[in-house]
Amino acid sequence: MAKKLKMHVKKGDQVKIISGKYKGKIGSITRVNTKTGKILIKNMNFKTKHCKPKQNGETGKIVQIESPIHSSNVMLYEEKLKIQK
């Protein structure tokens, strides 16, 4: 059984991304996974997925999905004070 990791952020927090493609962007956390240490940020870190057609006559499509980011790549951000903790 995997051990739960202690996280410095929780669901609903405002965070600023400090590394990666979306560095400097600010968003709110929608989901937290304590087993893997990853979080999902609203409208950030999109991945494209190519879907095959399921039925005859249907066409394939390209879907953009939000993917999780590791919690060490974000820091807490307070909108009112414009202060990073």
Give this prediction's pTM.
0.77
Which pLDDT does position 4 carry in this prediction? 86
CB contact burial 11-39 (16+ within 10 A = b; e otherwise): eebbbbbeeeebeeeebebeebeeeeebb
pLDDT score of 67 more than 80: yes
pLDDT, tens digit, for every residue of 20-63?
Answer: 999 999 999 999 999 999 999 999 999 999 999 998 989 999 99
Q: What is the pLDDT of residue 10?
A: 92
Q: Please give the Cα distance from 62 to 44 (Å, whole number).
A: 17
Every domain of the chain and the residues it spans: 14-84
CATH class of 14-84: mainly beta
**Residue 1 has what pLDDT?**
64
